[in-house]
Structure 1
Amino acid sequence: MASPDRRGRVAAAARAGSRRRLPMRLLLPVLVLVAMMAMLMLRGYVHSEILADFRVRPEASTDKVPQKILDGGPVIDTRSGRITSLRVPDHRLVLTFDDGPDPTWTPKVLDVLKKHHAHAVFFVTGTMASRYPDLVQRMVDEGHEVGLHTFNHPDLSYQSKSRIDWELSQNQLALAGAAGIRTSLFRPPYSSFADAMDDKSWPVTEYIGSRGYLTVVNDTDSEDWRKPGVDTIIRNATPKGGKGAIVLMHDSGGDRHQTVQALDRFLPQLQSQGYEFENLTDALGAPSAHTPVTGLDLWKGRTWTFLVQASDGITDVLVVGLAVIGGLVISRFVLMLLLSALHARKVRRRDFRWGPSPVTEPVSVLVPAYNEAKCIENTVRSLMASEHPIEVIVIDDGSSDGTARIVEAMGLPNVRVIRQLNAGKPAALNRGVANARYDLIVMMDGDTVFEPATVRELVQPFADPKVGAVAGNAKVGNRSSLIGAWQHIEYVMGFNLDRRMYDVLRCMPTIPGA
């Protein structure tokens, strides 16, 4: 057998080891929590729930916009300090679709384009491209061009240059992850015709050009977002006199069934008039807007799309889990109300008895106390007013405020004080049980006040030999304050109704101290 010194050293070593292992045990839950928070933040960002800016600036003056831009074509080139604009040649149409890809409508648009052997330019947002990368890949695989439409679709005239760079780089990151490409085409959100360029949007266009992008607006606006009807969409999209045009449509942002129907009629109708539906760079005779992404940039993009997919999947699982848990909580609450009402009706009947005769034998009341000088006297005096015969044992758990002396100075009969070094409430209760004179024991806190009938009511269930322990119906005395009122609700809902339900179901999990 180990010596006392040896045992002390072993216990100390075990405690020290426990202290070292505690952070490791906490590390995994903390990492999981951080990962979950990161996934939720990522989902909120990608779904434009955080860091999104939905302001749209009203039209401004055009004093700073070059006249040749206002009078020029829908393709604006401000790269390398140049200021030029381009038009699509006659009998060539460049269909453009904004705000996608959308899991419902983009596949339908792609199907119609494929059916009529037409190509188009899709100006995708980074949020949608990150969530539906397979659709971006399909666009590229089927020969369409893809352009940037920012990541979160803000009005860039409100944004700083650093935010503009962020919108562009994040949009390119999503493209790299989805299809392994970069693009040189850009369409500003909320843009219109070239002659709508103003003093707020023109500086943005110049800056975008300095970053290596062609800005693409449009010649004809189908206004399909208004859902004006298929005939109106076709009429709005059709250029006059056989001229070439860049046509604005949408494949996302709401119900686009009119767009799909109009497109299925518009394509053969214009093709019969000699129009060709081409990519923008093909129509302009320029090199492709797409550049393959390789190496680290490609892996960054793939990692990004993987994390976005993971965040959506995890949060979808969380939503389902919360729905299930919410349903269970509501079901439990309804069951608790029904069973607690049944229990109350049972025990409040006039003829209800716990057993053949009431319990009258004396009771030992244990009061563990640690620094309860402010309230211990009220606690003990409330017990002395008890209608049931009792002895009171106050276990002073190493108090430093004179709790034990206050009780001893009261000089009350049947009140004993037991002192011990501070060892905690469980040890104090065990010490009290060891010193109790009677078989029935009531435990209470040192800051609690009993009504005169409390002890008598608490012990009456022991008239039933099947009862092993009793938990009281705790009340909050100071319900006049807001905090007290909320605590009262907590006690009623969290303790008392629960106990009634458990009693009816005969599955009481624990006997709380309160």
Structure 2
Amino acid sequence: MPSRSRRQQHQHRAAGTGRSRPRLRLRLLLPLTLLLSIVAMLMLRGYVHSEILADHRIQPEAATDKVPEKILDGGPVIDTRSGRTTSLRVPDHRIVLTFDDGPDPTWTPKVLDVLKKHHAHAVFFVTGTMTSRYPELVKRIVDEGNEVGVHTFDHPDLSYQSKSRIDWELSTTQLAISGAAGVRTSLFRPPYSSFADAMDDKSWPVTEYIGTRGYITVVNDMDTEDWQKPGVDKIVQNAQPKNGKGAVVLMHDSGGDRHQTVEALDKLLPELQAKGYRFDNITEALGAKSALTPVTGIDLWKGRAWIFLVTASDDVTDALTVCLAVVGALVIARFGLMLLLSVLHARRVRRRGFRWGKPVTEPVTVLVPAYNEAKCIEATVRSLTASDHPIEVIVVDDGSSDGTARIVEDLDLPGVRVVRQVNAGKPAALNRGVANASHDLIVMMDGDTVFEPSTVRELVQPFGDPRVGAVAGNAKVGNRDSMIGAWQHIEYVMGFNLDRRMYDVLRCMPTIPGAVGAFRRTALERVGGMSEDTLAEDTDITMAIHRDGWRVVYAENARAWTEAPESVQQLWSQRYRWSYGTMQAIWKHRGALLDRGPSGRFGRVGLPLVSLFMVVAPLLAPLIDIFLLYGVIFGPTQKTIIAWLGVLAVQLVCAAYAFRLDRERMTHLLSLPLQQLLYRQLMYVVLLQSWITALTGGRLRWQKLRRTGVLGAPGGGPVSDRESRSSGERRPVA
């Protein structure tokens, strides 16, 4: 860990050159880019799956005053290109089978198999959505001598659409066809179309406009009505022209169960072929130039890029869905464990006559590492001198430049002494304090923290059990009167302290908080003291003590009031360090997975749970909010909101129980919904940035938080809401 003196120099240079703001933008860049990429993938998938911008309105029948008679009385092939108004019929004994709405991964291959079996060709009017999702089927259609036509992208009634929307439907579908089969088609069939004589004043202007875009419109002579599943024989009957006439026959290879269509096709083809009919694609039947033209160059690469992105969006969304299921299971499992095990913990430690062992009355050394804590140090030290347990206080001044040490010395309080050292960092300061401690039980706290009179006594009582090597206290947010302070207050009570109860029961406590923790000197010495290997020295030392075979427990009544960050910038810096330091500690102690015997319990239970609940689950948790936003905007909105409210209700139950255990006022929980919507998002990005830093081998500097000195000694200072009552004033929860 870099020394604070180097850090000061770095901060001074940054302030002089004005580079701090660009660093802020750069550290946001990668996490935000990743999150925006996920959102973009979801939007693309939603568009391709007709969940976004889809329009399913159908125009009612209209008058036919504007439709030329030769169109109404003409054939199913309508050409309005270059100002023409021409219609064509299929010659006698020629049938053009057309299939709409595909390609479908189940039924299109079966249809193609039947066509190939009977040496027949057809025209497949494909939608852009299905083509984008199943490009290999479109390629097979073309490779086997069939033709493809545009059936719009997501099947809207074009009479409702603007010209720009029509152009978008055509161009995007062509893009998909180009990427799938390397061709462009001039054939078009409007959705919800039928016969030429059904053309009306709403659909005819669309047909005319389609012609100006270079397309031939193909409707049909015969409708098999296979979409109604009338039975195989009925479909075959509906597909047979009279008196040897040619026809364009409408069928479907998508949109539902098409087994009747496939069976009817296998029956129809040999039956009509025996009567002299040929089954051709449209240009074969009309003896015209192929409607498909090869696409090369940039247009081909655009199409391929489109198919790649759609495929990637589907794959990514499928993977995210799996991850969402995983994180959902982890969240529910964590809530369930927290509630169940917290109940067990409360019943155990609060039952009548419970003791850790023989009462601990021996003196304790309290270590206060301090670096530029001039605003806070007096309140911290005075709170310690009010302790109802015999203590000595050692303030280790780690090279402060604001007179922290002098403030403590000027107080001239009994039992308080100052040890000065050249700036070397918090772990070194704590080790220096341990070396100067007079007693075997050592309490560690932060220089911005205030203890209640009973805190030290409550904190050391678990040492009555000789198996206990360290004790975690109950850290609480003192400056909770601001919104960001209230959110951290909820997090501390619900997330940290409820977690500690759970881990206590499981005997795998991952962290002794730096604000309030106690250690046996023997346990510290056996693991080598505080280490500088990670930025989370409190987590590192806790894991090391576990691995040495000691028990680590939680003392709920050992309350310490700490000053939480009061700005987003400071909160970001603190949580970034915590997250990255936790990852470092997990990696450092990965060998615990192979530990055996009693000391291996942490590796078997604790390390996997910490990795899942503190690293993996929070990393994946943004998926819940991303899918929530997606569902609210694009549907199903009602189900999405109900699901989110259900999760919020579970969190509220857990939070209410945690507040009850900690005897906190429930009014702070009014901000819980807002915390879930705003505060959690910040924590997500912080954790994501920590992951990126870890994976890219980046190094994180220790950053000093700015203190305001808002906390005072119990009974006289501005601890928010004066909720820091002594333990004697509180009644235990039943």
With structure 2 as the length reference, what TM-score do the two structures score?
0.57
What is the SS of the residue equivalent to 1:470?
A: strand
Match of 1:69 in 2: 71
Offset from partner CA, 1:401-444 (integer Å, 9 cap, x none): xxxxxx9xxx99879999x9xx9x969x9799799998643637
Conserved 8 A contact 1:121-1:145:
yes
Q: Which moved more, 1:177-186 or 1:495-504?
A: 495-504
Q: Aligned match of 2:196 in 178, 194, 197?
A: 194
Shift of 1:125: 1.2
Task: Quote the Cα distance in structure 2 between the aligned partners of 1:372 and 1:195.
Answer: 90
Match of 2:187 in 1: 185
Shift of 1:258: 1.8
Task: Quote the Cα distance in structure 2 between the aligned partners of 1:57 and 1:264.
Answer: 35
Alpha carbons of 1:440 and 1:258: their partners in 2 closer, same or farther (altered >3 Å)?
A: same
Alpha carbons of 1:202 and 1:382: their partners in 2 closer, same or farther (altered >3 Å)?
A: farther
Task: Quote the Cα distance in structure 1 between the aligned partners of 2:372 and 2:339.
Answer: 37
Match of 1:494 in 2: 495
Q: Which moved more, 1:436-445 or 1:117-126?
A: 436-445
Conserved 8 A contact 1:98-1:249:
yes
2:109 pairs with 1:92: no
Alignment-mate amino acid for residue 187 of structure 2: L
Match of 2:313 in 1: 311
Q: Aligned match of 2:211 in 205, 209, 212?
A: 209
Task: Quote the Cα distance in structure 2 between the aligned partners of 1:240 and 1:482.
Answer: 79
Offset from partner CA, 1:371-395 (integer Å, 9 cap, x none): 999x999999998987656789999
Task: Quote the Cα distance in structure 1 between the aligned partners of 2:217 and 2:33.
Answer: 44
Task: Quote the Cα distance in structure 1 between the aligned partners of 2:452 and 2:446.
Answer: 13
Task: Quote the Cα distance in structure 2 between the aligned partners of 1:480 and 1:30.
Answer: 30
Offset from partner CA, 1:106-151 (integer Å, 9 cap, x none): 0001011111221110011122112222111111111111101112
Match of 2:103 in 1: 101
Match of 1:246 in 2: 248
Task: Quote the Cα distance in structure 1 between the aligned partners of 2:351 and 2:459.
Answer: 17
Task: Quote the Cα distance in structure 1 between the aligned partners of 2:234 and 2:278.
Answer: 21
Alpha carbons of 1:473 and 1:219: their partners in 2 closer, same or farther (altered >3 Å)?
A: farther
Shift of 1:175: 1.4
Unaligned runs of 5+ in 1: 1-6, 401-406
Task: Quote the Cα distance in structure 1 between the aligned partners of 2:480 and 2:256.
Answer: 52
Task: Quote the Cα distance in structure 2 between the aligned partners of 1:161 and 1:453.
Answer: 77
Task: Quote the Cα distance in structure 2 between the aligned partners of 1:113 and 1:225.
Answer: 19
Q: Which moved more, 1:479-488 or 1:455-464?
A: 479-488
Conserved 8 A contact 1:367-1:392:
no
Task: Quote the Cα distance in structure 2 between the aligned partners of 1:376 and 1:256.
Answer: 78
Alignment-mate amino acid for residue 459 of structure 1: V
What is the SS of the residue equivalent to 1:247?
A: strand
Task: Quote the Cα distance in structure 1 between the aligned partners of 2:362 and 2:199.
Answer: 94
Alpha carbons of 1:69 and 1:481: their partners in 2 closer, same or farther (altered >3 Å)?
A: farther
Conserved 8 A contact 1:387-1:452:
yes
Q: Aligned match of 1:116 in 112, 115, 118?
A: 118
Shift of 1:452: 6.4
Alignment-mate amino acid for residue 98 of structure 1: D
RMSD: 4.7
Alpha carbons of 1:347 and 1:79: their partners in 2 closer, same or farther (altered >3 Å)?
A: same
Task: Quote the Cα distance in structure 1 between the aligned partners of 2:289 and 2:415.
Answer: 98
Task: Quote the Cα distance in structure 1 between the aligned partners of 2:234 and 2:491.
Answer: 61
Shift of 1:40: 3.2
Conserved 8 A contact 1:390-1:414:
no
Conserved 8 A contact 1:354-1:462:
yes
Shift of 1:21: 8.6
Structure-to-structure mapping, 1:372-451, within 5 angstroms = 388=389, 440-441=442-443, 443=445
Match of 1:3 in 2: none
Match of 2:291 in 1: 289
Shift of 1:191: 1.6
Alpha carbons of 1:200 and 1:350: their partners in 2 closer, same or farther (altered >3 Å)?
A: same
Conserved 8 A contact 1:364-1:437:
no
Shift of 1:475: 6.8
Structure-to-structure mapping, 1:354-369, within 5 angstroms = 354-359=356-361, 361=363, 364=366
Paired residues in the alignment total 500
Alpha carbons of 1:179 and 1:473: their partners in 2 closer, same or farther (altered >3 Å)?
A: same
Match of 1:225 in 2: 227
Task: Quote the Cα distance in structure 2 between the aligned partners of 1:390 and 1:67.
Answer: 105
Task: Quote the Cα distance in structure 1 between the aligned partners of 2:393 and 2:200.
Answer: 87
Alpha carbons of 1:31 and 1:481: their partners in 2 closer, same or farther (altered >3 Å)?
A: closer
Alignment-mate amino acid for residue 176 of structure 1: S
Conserved 8 A contact 2:365-2:394:
no
Conserved 8 A contact 2:132-2:176:
yes
Alpha carbons of 1:132 and 1:391: their partners in 2 closer, same or farther (altered >3 Å)?
A: same
What is the SS of the residue equivalent to 2:326?
A: helix
Q: Aligned match of 1:47 in 46, 49, 54?
A: 49
Shift of 1:187: 0.6
Conserved 8 A contact 1:393-1:432:
no
Match of 2:461 in 1: 460
Task: Quote the Cα distance in structure 1 between the aligned partners of 2:512 and 2:156.
Answer: 58
Shift of 1:219: 1.6
Q: Identity over aligned residues, as a percent?
A: 73
Offset from partner CA, 1:165-221 (integer Å, 9 cap, x none): 122111111111111111110011222222222222211111100111001111222
Offset from partner CA, 1:28-72 (integer Å, 9 cap, x none): 655555544443333232222323333333333323222322222
Task: Quote the Cα distance in structure 2 between the aligned partners of 1:371 and 1:249.
Answer: 80
Task: Quote the Cα distance in structure 1 between the aligned partners of 2:241 and 2:481.
Answer: 75
Q: Aligned match of 1:141 in 140, 143, 154?
A: 143
What is the SS of the residue equivalent to 2:472?
A: coil
With structure 1 as the length reference, what TM-score do the two structures score?
0.79
Unaligned runs of 5+ in 2: 403-407, 516-734
Task: Quote the Cα distance in structure 2 between the aligned partners of 1:109 and 1:156.
Answer: 28
What is the SS of the residue equivalent to 1:50?
A: coil
Conserved 8 A contact 2:396-2:430:
no
Task: Quote the Cα distance in structure 2 between the aligned partners of 1:50 and 1:293.
Answer: 29
What is the SS of the residue equivalent to 2:42?
A: helix
Match of 2:266 in 1: 264
Task: Quote the Cα distance in structure 1 between the aligned partners of 2:221 and 2:397.
Answer: 88
